[in-house]
């Protein structure tokens, strides 16, 4: 799984750059190397060092921009670019880190399967429920097609999928916890999708990329994961799984 996530990392960062209007392969190299370092920490079980590494990496990047500064009138762009890069690391890599941690636990593959099926069930149910029953707009200025009916339909489907996978895979989780996991993941995923919709709207683009013909970029497909992975990790930690 580490190899898969390491392969996806630079592709996702390239899409991130497109959404925030950040140019240059130097920034992409910084993001990729920083992302790989953070993933390596998670793979080794050294998650607690992530904050320190992120700070050091950001400081070095800022120092590099400082040393290259030649008195341009728009020097604050350097600080902006560093901020965009740090936010990119937080937005893209931290969720991937936490997926690695969840995957490394006992029955890790089953826990990841639960996450993926809840996300898929939520997306599908939200789409069809919103299409058939949707009347009340959820966030019309950010995503005009999303409705409250779709939101609740997706949440119910997510909870049902969580219970089904939990019992089908024999995961050590009582019914109430399985329902809770489904609801939390479903809500977090739909909020993550909304956040990316706002980023794309602000950037004036329809898709984050075109790596998947007809389906946009990786961030378009994995936007829900940005919020669900941290929420899932915290929930499983509270249950004593991670």
> What is the extent of the structural domain holding 54?
1-104
* Residue 75 scores a pLDDT above 60: no
Q: Are residues 3 and 100 in the same domain?
A: yes
pLDDT, average across residues 109-128: 96
Question: Do 86 and 116 fall within a single domain?
Answer: no
- Section 129-156 average pLDDT: 92
Q: What number is the average pLDDT over the span 138-156?
A: 92
| Helix residue ranges, H only, the chain | 2-20, 25-43, 50-68, 76-88, 94-103, 108-133, 148-168, 175-203, 218-238
Is the Cβ–Cβ distance between 98 and 236 less than 8 Å?
A: no
Whether residues 121 and 237 share a domain: the answer is yes
Residue at token pair 């961030």: 219
**Radius of gyration of the chain from its Cα atoms, rounded to whole angstroms:** 19
Poorest-confidence range of 10-19, 73-82, 220-229?
A: 73-82
Span 96-114, average pLDDT: 93
Q: For residues 104 and 55, which has the higher predicted lDDT (pLDDT)?
A: 104
C-alpha to C-alpha distance for 242 and 224, rounded to whole angstroms = 21
Could you tell me if 12 and 46 lie in one domain? Answer: yes
State mean pLDDT over 111-122. Answer: 96
User: Are residues 171 and 95 part of one domain?
Assistant: no
Q: Same structural domain for residues 91 and 176? A: no
* pTM summary value: 0.85
For 155-201, what is each residue's pLDDT tens digit? 999 999 999 999 999 999 999 999 999 999 999 999 999 998 888 88
Is the pLDDT reported for residue 202 higher than 90? no
What is the total count of domains within the chain? 2
Find, among 130, 101, 110, 87, the residue nearest to 172 by Cα: 110
CB 198 within 8 A of CB 175: no
Band (pLDDT 50/70/90 cuts) for residue 110 is very high
Final residue belonging to a domain, choices 74, 104, 134? 104
Mean pLDDT of the chain: 86
- Which of the pair, 71 or 7, is modelled with greater confidence? 7
Closest by CA to 196, choosing from 171, 218, 166, 174, is 218
CB 182 within 8 A of CB 158: yes
């Amino acid at each position: 799984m580490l190899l898969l996530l390491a392969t996806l990392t630079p592709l996702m960062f390239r899409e991130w750059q497109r959404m925030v209007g950040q140019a240059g392969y130097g920034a992409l190299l910084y993001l990729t190397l920083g992302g790989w370092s953070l993933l390596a920490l998670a793979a080794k079980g050294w998650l607690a060092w992530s904050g320190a590494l992120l700070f050091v990496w950001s400081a070095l990047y800022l120092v590099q921009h400082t040393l290259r500064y030649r008195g341009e009138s728009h020097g604050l762009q350097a600080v902006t670019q560093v901020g965009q890069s740090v936010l990119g690391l937080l937005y893209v890599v931290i969720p991937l880190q936490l997926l690695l941690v969840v995957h490394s636990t006992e029955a890790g593959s089953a826990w990841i399967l639960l996450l993926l099926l809840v996300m898929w069930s939520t997306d599908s149910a939200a789409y069809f429920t919103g299409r058939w029953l949707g009347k009340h707009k959820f966030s019309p200025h950010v995503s005009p097609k999303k409705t409250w009916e779709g939101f609740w339909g997706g949440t119910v489907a997510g909870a049902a999928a969580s219970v089904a996978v939990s019992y089908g895979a024999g995961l050590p989780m009582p019914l109430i916890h399985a329902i809770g996991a489904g609801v939390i993941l479903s809500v977090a995923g739909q909020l993550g999708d909304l956040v990316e919709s706002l980023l794309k709207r602000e950037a004036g683009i329809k898709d984050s990329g075109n790596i998947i013909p007809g389906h946009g970029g990786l961030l378009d497909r994995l936007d829900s994961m940005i919020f669900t992975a941290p929420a899932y990790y915290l929930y499983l930690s509270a249950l004593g799984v991670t």
